[in-house]
Structure 1
Amino acid sequence: MNRKANTPMKFAASSLAAVIGAILLLTACASEAPPGPSPDGVDLRGASIGGDFTLTSNTGKRVSWDDFAGQYRLVYFGFTYCPDICPTDVQRLSQGLRAFEEAHPDLGKKVQPIFISVDPERDSVAVLNEFVASFHPRLIGLTGTPEEIEAVKKAFGASASKDPAGADGNYNVSHTTFTYLFAPDGAPLGIIPTDKQAAGVAAELERWVR
């Protein structure tokens, strides 16, 4: 499969400025409102998803869920060989987080983006490291054994299944494409609408992160 499909598109400075401008217009009223989803978001408060795990990061370090205690966590399940959906979603969440960081530097530091592979057979540490480096400087990629990944998928309510391989041996992985947001204590908060582009991601973070 052509790995170039994972290369993010250029995000124009004017587009980033527009996103930041939109956030600043919402800041005064949103900062006074209680946290909660926008009409485009999904409220997951009280849901039984998440939980501790230990996986291997894109730098080869063993990382646990509790290592992110005190941070909001943006979590996306995908795979690096994905031809379009995964890189598009990760690009949008990365661009939206950058815009949020520009508008709110202190709050932006509290948000940790995390990419969890659902294709541990191909997503080695080296492959994962190359993938995450293309998006956000703080994006962490996690992989593990098939058993470890299955356990994390089950705990987080994600699903993924390997499709039949083609004649060349390549295969797709059908999977859920939600971007979850978790609170600093690890509790689920909501789903971030990456289908609403970077502006939608930034606006949703505006609603939740305090």
Structure 2
Amino acid sequence: MMNVANMGQRIVRASLILVFGAALAGCDGSGGSAAPARPPLEGARIGGPFTLTDQNGRTVRDSDFAGRYRLIYFGYSFCPDICPVDLQKLMRGLARFEKTDAARGARVAPLFITVDPARDTPEALKPFVARYHPRLLGLTGTPEQIAAAAKAFVVTYNKVPGSAPDRYLMAHSQLAFLMGPDGKPLALLPLDDPTTDPDEGAPTKVAAELAKWVK
């Protein structure tokens, strides 16, 4: 049975996708002509400056990634199901893209930003992100720093009480962003996977989406 946190994630994700789609729909006046594809999130007010701390205790700023694409996912390491599955899909998709085109793949910086800074210390994030990709950065910070980063990316989150004070869940937006070298949004990466094969479905779609937008 889907718990309250998971249901909240799906509702928020669906709502945001509808908002983005409504904001960006109808912008193609080509009338069916073969005009170059435009990034679906082009012009959306998503992203902004942040100062956070990585799994090695180093200060990380958005400006550190200038000139590189960024794959950004918000979640938390204590998530019982959704976040690990999403990260597996995203990082397998990135690995597949890297295998196909190592040079372009190296231009993508994968970032995992926690929405649970109280428990996701650098020490907690280090073994977590290491499971998924050797270049995946786990980012945490003060509650205020996390709130500012989440607001910039239109990500919402809230605590769902559990059976004990330290056994709570976090309901949060279930979205994966691809940002351009200038820090502006390009696309949402696909997380839905109708197949039962963990090596197909969403990872294949993620790799295809990266190949489409990463130059």
Q: Same fold (TM over 0.5)?
A: yes
Alignment of 1:71-150 (within 5 A): 71-150=68-147
Single out whichever of 164-173 and 101-110 deviates more from structure 2: 164-173
Alpha-carbon distance, 1:165 to partner: 2.6
- One-letter amino acid of the structure 2 residue matched with residue 87 of structure 1: P
Distance 2:165 2:140 in 1: 24
Q: Which amino acid is 2:121 matched to? A: S
Contact 1:56 1:143 (C-alpha < 8 Å) held by counterparts:
yes
Provide closer, same or farther for how the CA distance between residues 44 and 118 of structure 1 changes in structure 2, counting only shifts above 3 A: same
The aligned residue for residue 169 of structure 2 is: 172
Paired residues, number: 173
Structure-to-structure mapping, 1:33-44, within 5 angstroms: 34=36, 36=38, 43-44=40-41
Percent identity, aligned pairs only, is: 51
**2:189 equivalent to 1:192:** yes
In the superposition, the TM-score normalised over structure 1's length comes to: 0.79
Q: Secondary structure at the residue paired with 1:207?
A: helix
> Do the aligned partners of 1:36 and 1:208 also contact (CA within 8 Å) in 2?
no
2:155 aligned partner: 158
Any conservation in 2 of the 1:36–1:207 contact (CA below 8 Å)?
no
Give 1:194 shift.
2.0
Select the residue among 204, 208, 214 that pairs with 1:209: 214
Q: Deviations along 1:123-182, whole A, 9 cap, x unmatched?
A: 010100110000000000100000110111111100100001314740100000100000
Gap change, CA 1:105 and 1:128, over 3 Å in 2 = same
User: Distance between the aligned counterparts of 1:151 and 1:159, measured in 2?
Assistant: 11
Asked whether the 8 Å contact 1:35–1:208 carries over to 2, the reply is no
State the TM-score, normalizing by the size of structure 2.
Answer: 0.78
Deviation at 1:59, TM superposition (A): 0.7
User: 2:214 & 2:109 partners in 1: Cα distance?
Assistant: 12
CA contact (8 A) 1:71 1:184 kept: yes
- With over 3 angstroms needed to count, the CA separation of the structure-2 counterparts of 1:170 and 1:111, relative to structure 1, is same
Paired amino acid for 1:107 = R
Q: What SS does the corresponding residue of 2:72 show, helix, strand or coil?
A: strand
Determine the C-alpha separation between the residues in 2 that align with 1:75 and 1:35: 22
Structure 2: runs of 5 or more not aligned: 1-34, 194-201
Amino acid at match of 1:65: D
